[in-house]
Structure 1
Amino acid sequence: MTTRVLDLTRATKCDPAGGRRLPPPLLPAWLAALLLPAVVLAGLEAAVRAGAVPANLMPPPSEVARTIVDLAGHGLAGHATASSLRVLLGFLGGAGAGLLLGAAVALHRGARGMLDPSLQALRSIPSLAWVPLLLLWFGIDELPKLVLIGIGAFFPVYTGVTSGFAGVDRKLVEVGLLYRLPPPALVGRVLLPAALPAILTGLRNGLSLAWMFMVAAELIAASRGLGYLLSDGRETSRADIVLAAIVLLALLGKLSDMAMLALERRLLAWRDTHPDTGARA
C-alpha cells in the first residue's frame, strides 16, 4: 500500500505537503530573461535596415552599441560614476529619513496625526515641481540634485514602512504583550520582522525612483552624468547618444535592483515561500 502511494505521488508530481508543483521551465532563467530583449533588438535592427523605421529617429541597435563603445573612450565611465554616486547619496539620505519618519508615524499615534496628513499631501507633488524651488534655495551645484533624488526615494520607503507596520497581524502583537515584552523588544522581535517584507519592498521602489529623479535633476543643470548625456544628445539631434544613455540607465538600474533583491532574500530567508514563485533577479 505504501509503495502504491509513493508511486502515485511521483506520477502526479506532488510535493510532500500535497501541493501540485509547477511544471519545470522550458529554458534556464538567464536565457529566458534574455529572450525577449534579443527578439526586440533583432526585429528593430531588421526594421531599420529595411527602411521601415527612419534611422535618424531610431538608430539600429548595432549603431547604438558602437556609440557606447565610442563613448567609453571619451569619459563614459565618469558620467556613469557621477550618476551612480548621486543616486547612492540621495537614496541613503531619502531612505534614511523615510525609515525614521515612517517608524515614528507607524508606532506613535501623536506623530501619525501630526505628520502623516502633510506627508501624504507632499507625496502627490510631481518631481519637476520641486526643481525651481530647489534651484532657488541651493543654486545649481550638487546639493539640489541630491535633495531631489532624496525626495524621490523618501516617499516609497515611508509608505512601505507605515504600511508594513500597519499590516502586522494583531495576534502577533497580543502574543508579545502576553509575554510582557517591553516596547523596544516588542518592536525588535515582533513588529519589525513582520513588517520587514513591506519595508524592503519600499526600499526597492525607492531605489528605482531615485534613478528616475536623478535623470530629472541632471536634465536641469549638470555637466556630468547620464542625464547630461541625454540632454546633450537631444540638443545635438543624436538619437544614438540618447538611446545609449537610456540603455546604460536601464543596466545600472537593474544591477542596483539585483543588489537590493539579494539583500531582501538574505534578510527574509526565514520565509516559507513556494520555490517556483516570488521575485527573481
Structure 2
Amino acid sequence: MTSSPTTTAPDRADSAAPGAVALSGSTPPVVTSRRWRRAVTPVLLVLLWELAARIGLLPPEKLPAPTDVIRAGWLLSGDGTLALHVLDSLTRALIGLAIGGLLALVLGSLAGLLRIGDDAIDPPVQMARMLPHLGLVPLLIIWVGIGEELKITLVALGSFFPIYFNTYAGIRDIDERLVEAARTCGLGAWGRLRHVVLPGALPSLFLGLRLAIGAAWLSLVVGEQVNAQTGIGFLMMEAREFYQTDIVVLGLVIYALLGLGSDLLLRFAERRTLSWRRGLKAT
C-alpha cells in the first residue's frame, strides 16, 4: 500500500493564497486602480466647467473656461512673473508654518506631559482659540505693521492651533498602562518618551500638520491681500482691479494645487513613518 506524497512547507506556501500580493517594492494593481478612480471626479468637474463655459452657461467675465485660465498661466509663466509670485508665497507659508508649528509643538508637549504645563499653558490657549485669527488683522497691523511680518504672523497663528491641540490630545490619549509597562521594564523618562509617547502621539501630530497646512494657506490668502508687492494674493488683487477674472481664478487654482501638493507630501511621509499602523480601510 503506497502512501500519498506529502506536501512540503514550500509547496503549501506556493499553493496557498493564490491571490496574495508578494511583499515587494512594486505597487499592487488595486492601489494603482484606486488612484486613477480618485482622479475621475476632479477631471469630470473640469470637463463640465469647460462645457458650461463654452455653451454660454458661465459668462467669461464671471467665470472663464479652464482653457482660458491655463492660457493666462502660460502667458505669466513665459517671463517668470508667475514663478516669482509662487516662490514668495511658498517662502511666507514655510516660514510661518515653521514658527507656528514649532511653538505649538513645544507648548503642546509641555501641556500634555506636565501637570504644571497643563495648568499654565492650556487655559490661555483655549481662550485664544475662540478668537478668529483672521479677525485680528487690524490689531496685527498696529502691532507688526503691514509688511512681511503681518503675513508670516497670520500664517503662524493659523497653523499654531491645529498642531497644538492635536499634539496635546495625542499625548493625553496614550494608554497610561503602556507607560507603566515601560517603566516596569526599566525605561527611564527619555526612553518612555522615545519608545511610547512619541509613537503614540505621531498619528495625531500628523493630523494636526495636515490641518495646519490648510489653515496656513487660508491665512496666506488674506495676508497677501494687505499691502503686498509679490505673491499669489497680490497677483489676484491686481488682476481684480483690471477685471482679469482668468488671473483671479488662476490664483485660486494655484493656492489649491499648492495645498493639495503639500498635503500629498505629508500623507506620503505619514505612510512611511507610520508603516507599523494598520487602520480600518474602506471597502
Once residues 44 and 144 of structure 1 are traced to their aligned partners in structure 2, the CA distance between those partners, rounded to angstroms, is: 36
Deviation, structure 1 residue 232: 1.8
Matched, 1:72 2:77: yes
1:30-80 deviations in Å (ceiling 9; x for gaps) = 422321122111111111111122121010111111011111124000000
What is the alpha-carbon distance in structure 2 between the residues aligned to residue 197 and residue 247 of structure 1?
29
Residue 192 of structure 1 aligns to a residue whose secondary structure is: helix
CA distance in 1: counterparts of 2:115 and 2:17, whole angstroms: 54
1:145 aligns to what?
151
Q: 1:235 aligns with which of 234, 241, 254?
A: 241
TM-score, length-scaled by structure 2: 0.86
Give the deviation of 1:194 after TM superposition. Answer: 0.9
Matched, 1:134 2:140: yes
Structure 1 counterpart of 2:259, from 243, 250, 253: 253
Deviation at 1:208, TM superposition (A): 1.7
Q: Percent identity?
A: 34
Structure 1 equivalent of residue 115 of structure 2: 109
Q: Is the 8 A contact 2:105 2:164 kept in 1?
A: yes
1:171 is aligned, of 159, 173, 177, to 177
Q: Secondary structure at the match of 1:140?
A: coil
Distance 2:70 2:113 in 1: 51
Larger Rg: 2
Distance 1:86 1:53 in 2: 34
Counterpart of 1:95 (choices 101, 110, 113) is 101
More displaced stretch, 230-239 vs 146-155 = 230-239
Give CA deviations for 1:108-166 in whole Å, capped at 9, x if unaligned.
11111121111011112113222112211121221121111111111100011000001
Cα distance change, pair 269–25 in 1 and its aligned pair in 2 (3 A): closer
Q: Which amino acid aligns with 1:111?
A: G
Question: RMSD of the alignment, in Å?
Answer: 2.7
**Residue in 1 aligned with 2:24?**
none
- Matched with 2:205 is 199
The DSSP-based 3-state class of the residue aligned with 1:223 is: coil
| Structure 1 runs (4+) greater than 3 angstroms displaced | 24-27
Post-superposition offset of 1:277: 5.0
Cα distance in 2 for partners of 1:255, 1:27 equals: 18
Between 97-106 and 140-149, the greater mean CA deviation after superposition: 140-149
2:50 is matched with: 45
Kept in 1, the 8 Å contact 2:228–2:234? The answer is yes
Question: Relative to structure 1, is the Cα distance of residues 148 and 69 closer, same or farther in structure 2, using a 3 angstrom cutoff?
Answer: same
Partners of 1:182 and 1:27 in 2: how far apart? 44
Residues 100 and 155 in structure 2, CA contact (< 8 A), matched pair in contact too = yes
Structure 1 position 170, deviation (Å): 1.9
**Alignment partner of 1:28 out of 33, 39, 46:** 33
1:155 aligns to 2:161 (yes or no): yes
1:104 counterpart letter in structure 2: L
Task: Tell me if 1:62 matches 2:67.
Answer: yes
Q: Distance in 1 between matches of 2:66 and 2:195?
A: 52
Distance 1:225 1:26, change over 3 A: closer
Gaps of 5+ in 1: 16-23
Q: 1:172 to 1:230 in 2, by over 3 A?
A: same
Whether the aligned pair in 1 keeps the contact of 2:178 and 2:196 (CA below 8 Å) is: yes
Residues 14/30 of structure 1: CA separation in 2 closer, same or farther (3 Å cut): closer
Corresponding position of 2:3: none
